[in-house]
Amino acid sequence: MIAPVLPLAADDLSDFGHDVWWVILVKTLLIFVVLVLLTLFNIWWERRVVARMQHRIGPNVHGPFGLLQSLADGVKLALKEDLTPKAADKLVFIIAPVLATVPAFVTFSVIPFGPTVDFFGERTPLQLTDMPVAVLFVMAIASIGIYGIVLGGWSSGSTYSLLGGLRSSAQMISYEVAMGLALVAVFLYAGSMSTSEIVRAQDDLWFGLILAPSFVIYVIAMIGETNRAPFDLPEAEGELVGGFHTEYSSLKFALFFLAEYINMATVSALATTLFLGGWHAPFWIDHVWAGANEGYVPLIWFFGKVLFFVFIFIWLRGSLPRLRYDQFMAFGWKRLIPIALVWIVAVATIRAVSLDGGLDRRWLMIGIGVLAALFVVLFFFSDASDDEEAAAPAEARAGGFPVPPMPAGGAVRGPAQPLTFSSSSSTVPGGES
């Protein structure tokens, strides 16, 4: 007999919507200032870390340890000449950087930084606002930022910029699907799409541990979503000069640059909120320190976790080469999305059985471990035929793609074959006999 499905408990959002106007204004201003300062710090930190990885010095002149280098670069960009190409659609060309930057700030309005605190005599949560569908709100607003990149590439009147914008639209849409599927398992376990409720549901155990495959899929998808190396195909300088922002300069270029780094912070904060317990103390420090999750102390844990994810971005940029675009898209559609769908079905089944009382916690953890091992096998060892096909000579593929047959009696050159010509003719392609 199938047990009836019980309705989910209503989200407890009673702490929100009661702030006086000046508290809302101060919170909004603080979020803006924190994001700008975090961007300046992340740029400096990326340069220092990559310099250490490459045995270089990095910024060390402007300010102590070179901390003011990012600020100096911002002033330099503001003072540069602002150019607009003649072939550009001027209105769209100007609006595009704004469309990319504003949504990056708005998404932080539902990110919880900490618990309810005493804020200049007012009791208020360290979060601007919350809603029953806060995570969907973040993804919807982040999707608007795609328009800024696509319109920026299209309005420039440049072929390189247009190709970068088209790449970005395909890339972001593809990896948003994988990212959304990775979050479904979190919704099933938390019973809510409210960010504050999801953090509260991780009091005992983080979702990044019990939903490890979702966590891995989300981390990969968030790197593709933010156009960061090794997935920075929309701005691949070896192919597209600078991609969608090739024709931009001065403050408009700075806005695109700012949007990229704020989006890094946004996806890192969302990963912290959904998988690493949000502002809760790591390693269960609260068991030995009663005040670890009280007052303003959780801000330390929250930003520490966010900077951990930012370090992953920097680490990957300094370690991995850029992927080929067809490999990148195939990886998203043929690997991440199918694995995410299978994992959702498994999590939904386990969740339904455990809610009905038919599976205790020990067997639940064993089942999740088996599924995680299966996920690793599928992720790293499946589709070996793809590698064999890539290694096959060009003449074995239909039409010889991507290497066409050579003209004037020339032999077909495979991936590992030198260029040769037939001995029956002394004519060189493109030359004279």
pLDDT digits (tens, 9 = 90+) for 77-127: 888 888 888 888 889 999 999 999 999 899 999 999 999 898 888 889 999
**Cα 379 to Cα 217: distance, rounded to the nearest angstrom:** 10
9 Cβ contact list (under 8 Å, min separation 6): 191
Q: Are residues 110 and 185 in the same domain?
A: yes
Judge residue 83's burial from the number of C-beta atoms within 10 Å of its C-beta, 0-12 exposed, 13-18 middle, 19 or more buried: exposed
Range of the structural domain that residue 345 is part of? 82-356
pTM: 0.80
Q: Are residues 284 and 318 in the same domain?
A: yes
Tell me the average pLDDT of the chain: 81
Three-state secondary structure readout of 100-162: HHHHHHHHHHHCCCCCEEEECCEEEECCCCCCCCHHHHHHHHHHHHHHHHHHHHHHCCCHHHH
Q: Are residues 286 and 270 in the same domain?
A: yes
Position 182 in a domain = yes
Position 68 in a domain = yes
Q: Are residues 159 and 74 in the same domain?
A: no
**Cα 341 to Cα 262: distance, rounded to the nearest angstrom:** 29
Asked if residue 133 has pLDDT above 70, the reply is yes
Q: Are residues 46 and 101 in the same domain?
A: no
What DSSP line would sit under 328-386, residue for residue? HHHIIIIIIHHHHHHHHHHHHHHHHHHHTT-S-HHHHHHHHHHHHHHHHHHHHHS-HHH
Q: Are residues 175 and 254 in the same domain?
A: yes
pLDDT digits (tens, 9 = 90+) for 213-270: 999 999 999 998 888 878 887 777 777 777 788 888 888 889 988 998 999 999 999 9
Position 18 in a domain = no
**Cα 400 to Cα 405: distance, rounded to the nearest angstrom:** 7
What amino acid occupies position 261? Y
Asked if residue 168 has pLDDT above 70, the reply is yes
Q: Are residues 70 and 189 in the same domain?
A: no
Q: Are residues 170 and 52 in the same domain?
A: no
Asked if residue 431 has pLDDT above 70, the reply is no
Which tokens in the block code for residue 317?
């940029």
The domain total for the chain is: 2
Position 328 in a domain = yes
Domain boundary among 57, 79, 101: 79
pLDDT digits (tens, 9 = 90+) for 280-295: 998 878 888 888 888 8
